[in-house]
Amino acid sequence: MVNYPHPHHLTRKKKAEQPAKKVNFANRGMSFEAAINATNNYYLAHSIAVIHKKPTPIQIVKVDYPMRSRAKIVEAYFRQPSTTDYSGVYRGHYIDFEAKETRLKTAMPMKNFHAHQIEHMAKVLEQQGICFVLLHFSSLKETYFLPAQALIDFYQIDRGTKSMPLDYIKKKGYWIEMNALPQVPYLDIIENYFLGGDYYQKDSVQKK
């Protein structure tokens, strides 16, 4: 039994309320990944958290040298499957998460998640880590924080062969209000709904 805060056990505000005006980082020439990286840089610069993107382990097979001072990797392969995209620490808590994006408007394709990633997330939860996925619907300009346990539960229904409906994500997850800085303030969700609030920007999550 994974000891992890379950959405139904938390006293919280309604999650899926949509703002009157949405901040669209894509209009600024910024990808979802770049927005997350910028957010993590903001957290680091302001001594809020230390979260980094994990390097992908590769084995270099062939390198060309078009110039003496410049090397170009022309052949390489993954040494081992990657787990999740980001990890770090916030207020003494281990943070581990994956980020996915889709242009679909009604569901997130589960083919984006692999069995070894689901297994990794389950192991993080077993060790009391805070694990989740950030899901961005680019066509809707909406972003959600989905706890890893909700992803694992859905994956186990049919081993990830079906897409995850947006309605399920809204029910089990948390809508993230995009900002100018930080662009993807996911720590607001962790602070308010998993750590009890009263620490980091507790008033920045939407109220009703």
- Given a contact cutoff of 8 angstroms between Cβ atoms, the answer to whether 194 and 173 are in contact is no
Backbone φ and ψ of 149, nearest 5°: -65, -35
Is 83 known as a binding-site position? yes
Low-confidence ranges of the chain (pLDDT < 70): 1-29, 55-81, 197-208
Question: How high is the pLDDT of residue 76?
Answer: 47
pTM of the predicted model, to two decimals? 0.74
Cα–Cα distance measured from residue 64 to residue 51, given in angstroms and rounded to the nearest whole number: 34
Is 39 known as a binding-site position? no
Please check whether the domain covering 9-55+82-204 is classified as CATH 3.30.565.10. Answer: no
Cα–Cα distance measured from residue 198 to residue 202, given in angstroms and rounded to the nearest whole number: 6
Is 177 known as a binding-site position? no
pLDDT in tens, 120-141: 999 999 999 999 999 999 999 9
90 beta partners: 93
Q: Which residues of 107-138 are buried (b: 16+ CB within 10 A; e: fewer)?
A: bbebebbeeebbebbbebbeeebbbbbbbbbb
pLDDT in tens, 31-42: 999 999 999 999
Is 143 known as a binding-site position? no
Q: CA 152: distance to chain centroid?
A: 14
Q: Which helix (H) or strand (E) holds 34?
A: helix 32-45
141: alpha, beta or left? (left if phi > 0; alpha if psi -120 to 50): left
